[in-house]
Amino acid sequence: MGSVMDSPVYEVFGQHDALSFPTHVGSVRAASATLALLLARETYFRRDAVFDLWVVPRTSIFSARQHDPLMLGDRTNKAYRLPSGYDNAPIWKQFKAQAQTIEEVALDMTPPRRS
């Protein structure tokens, strides 16, 4: 026992469709990247079709939490940086105009059907 070394760990990322971002789902142990892909497919995506699958050697990941956790903190009030930090709707209403949101613009800009 113990004469065979453990195979390296690969972190697994799955991308649901072409326009979504690859998301971390877990990790696998495998002797090569090809085998890691295969195992990742078997382990994490047995049922769902997936657009793309990435495996990354864990040793290639440089984590901020381990390197410098202080850089992650958000201890100051950043309301000025967020859309929710502004309350324009009542003022638009005073001017008898409608407030707008970016979600509404995005919806408005979905491509027209062309024949």
Partner 1 sequence: MIKRLVRSYWRHRLDRAVIRYQYLTHPEVLRLSQILDGWILQGQYSLARSERWRSKLSRIGSIARPEAVRSQKGVNTSMTRLNQSHEAFIEHIARGNKIEATDWMPDDYRQLLIKQIHMHAVSEIMGAYPEKEWVKYAPTIRRKLALNAKIQDEIGHGQMLLRLAEDLSAPYGRGREALLEDIVEGRVKFHNVFHMPAPTWADAGVIGFLVDGGAIITQAMLLASSYAPYARMLKRIVAEESFHMQCGESVVLALASGTAAQRDMLQQAINRWWPAMMFFFGPREMGTQSRRMLEYRIRTMTNEELRQKFLARYVPRIRALGMTLPDPDLHRDLDHPHYWHYTDPDWDAFNEMVHHNTGPMSQTRLALRRGAQEGLAWARQATLTAHATHCDLSATL
Site for partner 1 in 48-67 (CB under 8 A): 49, 51
| Interface with partner 1, residue 82, by CB under 8 A | yes
Cα 45 to Cα 41: distance, rounded to the nearest angstrom: 5
In the block, which residue shows the tokens 């491509």?
111
The site that binds partner 1 (CB under 8 A) totals a number of residues, namely 37
Among 3, 59, 66, 110, binds partner 1 (CB under 8 A): 110
Cα 27 to Cα 6: distance, rounded to the nearest angstrom: 14
Q: How many CB atoms lie within 10 A of CB 114?
A: 4
Structure tokens at 61: 């990941």
Contact set with partner 1 (CB under 8 A)? 17-21, 34-35, 38-39, 49, 51, 78, 80-83, 85-86, 88, 91-92, 94-98, 100-103, 105-106, 108-112
